[in-house]
Structure 1
Amino acid sequence: MRKRTTMAVLTAAAAAATAGLTAPAAQADGHGDTAITQVVVNGGKPVVIDATTATTFTVSVTATDDSGIQGLNYLDLEGPEGGFESPASRVRCTVVNETTSTCSASFTMDPRTDFVDNSPAGTWYVSTWADGEDGDFHSNAKAASFRVQRQSKLTVNASPEPVKKGKTITVTGNLTRADWRSHGYVGHKDQSVQLQFRKQGTDTYTTVKTVKTTTGGALKTTVTAATDGYWRWNYAGISTTAPAKAGGDLVDVQ
């Protein structure tokens, strides 16, 4: 994982103000009426990263000043264990009106080159500095937060197929998630996963029961066969791991 050791080179005034942002009680600083009014990361969705593929997403910062916005002094991302990401593209600003601009840049997180373990999963913060045309500014080391999550996968198998009505169906599966250390997928144990059923000819799944994963992310339970339909597992996810749904497995009940 990239780790922040120094800030990008700033003006003397900027450096002095940024130094004050290290204390949790003083994350924001500024002069005049410049304000950061909105920060959007990845369209408001968590950044989900698989075991091997680089993921690119956009961060947008909207700022206002009575004289207009000159631009951003910097735009960085800071995460767990000293994690740090700088823009993968030039920061570009679009004028919304005479007082407001939105500045955006793309960021890329690559599990093969940026991460050495799974510690980047969790809460990240957008650190940015907006300059007004009149010399006013506003900086915030925690202008917004977002989640970086490990991708998860679910499998399902319902058997026997076909089965007589009233007999027992065994539903198994496996929950795994990306491991940025090995660049593969590992079992995710002790997780609550919903077993869901959709009657053939309908569109809606209904939760039947909740089962916890065991060693290796294994899932297993039994249900009574009542009618033709699809069985699947549904995992809601946690702060460090993305949700997942298995594809439905059709069971013919005779």
Structure 2
Amino acid sequence: MRIRATAAAVSITGVLALSAFAVPAAQAADAASGKAAFSSASADATSGTTTTSTLDVTFSDMKVNNGKNIAVGTTNVVSVPVTYTLTHPADMDTSSDHFASGPLIYRGSSPDTASNMLISDDPATCTATSSTTMSCKGVIYVRPADGDLMNADAGTWNAGALAVDDSGDHTMQGGLGTTKVQRYSKLTANAGPEPVVKGRTITTTGKLTRANWEDNQYHGYTNQPVKLQFRKAGTSTYTTIKTVYSDSYGNVKATATAQYDGYWRLSFAGTTTTPAVNATGDFVDVQ
């Protein structure tokens, strides 16, 4: 679920999203009144690790995408697993018919000032680990083709969670960690001539591109350092020969002297907004 809206809309919509799952089918007639209660509830979500709440629930130990960055292309839906601990009073009814919780990530310093927020489509699966704690697993889906992201959204996001019960009580908590949402990158490499005479020049060309979330195409990543690397036939390790820069179209060109049979590739170390990528090595026979 994507939310790109004002602070109040962000908080209320997030609570409403999960409230729909907190109401069992047998109580469908009460759903409208439940949503009305949420609409009138306080949408305050302060910065840091706490938020104004009418539900006595807190969250901790959150891990997003198993601690890895989230690389998002132009069309494929990306599934982001999230785990966290939920703490609640011992006498709270946390059965799925009356209670739901879910993870979220947001762009900004706090949920109430977020410029973009992604919330799990469905409630997390929460299992009791004690009378006051639950271990929760949820999934956030990122849908670039549906406009979930703008290019300016690439970079560091914050993590949070929310909970809601069927009476309209809710809480949202931010500041539970960070993750990077990055524009998926591609890199090609073609080395030649093939074969080549020993001592002659080998030229490796390629192109560095990354996802554009606004037109769902891949465009050249310009003025970026790219390493030319070589792996001698029969070995398993690449050695950096030199560093060159991509041009205004993302094109890369690097030359080296042919000495041994082996594989030539280009390698990009990545940036905050774009993941690292290695081109497939291209074998050149030296005669």
TM-score after normalising by structure 2: 0.74
Q: 1:163 aligns with which of 165, 188, 196?
A: 196
Sort the Cα spacing of 1:206 and 1:125 in 2 relative to 1 into closer, same or farther, 3 A. same
Structure 1 residues 79 and 203, CA, compared in 2 at 3 Å: closer, same or farther?
same
Contact 2:189 2:204 in 1 (8 A): yes
Percent identity, aligned pairs only, is 36
Unmatched runs of 5 consecutive residues or more in structure 1: 132-136
Moved over 6 A (4+): none
Partner of 2:124: 91
Structure 1, 189-198 or 34-43: larger mean CA deviation: 34-43
Tell me the amino acid that sits aligned with residue 78 of structure 1.
Y
3-state SS in 2 of match to 1:77: strand
Secondary structure, in 3 states, of the residue corresponding to 1:143?
coil
Q: Is the 8 A contact 2:45 2:172 kept in 1?
A: no
Q: Which has the higher strand share?
A: 1
DSSP-derived class of the 2:249 partner: helix
2:107 partner letter: G
> Which residue number corresponds to residue 237 of structure 2?
204
Report what 1:117 is aligned to: 150
Distance 1:221 1:247, change over 3 A: same
Query: What is aligned with 1:234?
Result: 267
Deviations 1:18-72 (A, max 9, x none): 6250xx4x442589x9753311111111111111111122111123468498476
Q: What amino acid is the match of 1:76?
A: L
Q: Which moved more, 1:112-121 or 1:237-246?
A: 112-121
Deviation at 1:117, TM superposition (A): 3.3
The equivalent residue for 2:247 is 214
1:68-107 aligned at under 5 Å gives the runs: 70=94, 73=101, 75-79=103-107, 82-107=115-140
Q: CA distance change for structure 1 residues 115 and 30 in 2, over 3 Å: closer, same or farther?
A: closer
Q: 1:4 to 1:125 in 2, by over 3 A?
A: farther
Answer yes or no: is the 8 Å Cα contact 2:44–2:52 preserved in 1. no
Match for residue 28 of structure 1 among 47, 50, 54: 50
1:43, 1:73 → 2: CA distance? 19
Equivalent of 2:84 in 42, 58, 61: 61
Aligned-CA RMSD value: 3.0
1:46 matched residue in structure 2: 69
List alignment gaps of at least 5 residues for structure 2: 20-36, 109-113, 165-169
Aligned length: 244
Match of 1:3 in 2: 4
TM-aligned CA distance change 1:107 to 1:73, over 3 Å: closer
The letter of the residue matching 2:140 is F
CA distance in 1, matches of 2:230, 2:85: 44
Asked whether the 8 Å contact 1:115–1:181 carries over to 2, the reply is no
Tell me how far 1:206 sits from its aligned partner.
1.4
TM-score by length of 1: 0.83
CA contact (8 A) 1:54 1:110 kept: yes
1:112 counterpart SS class = helix
Q: How far has the Cα of 1:127 moved from its partner?
A: 2.2
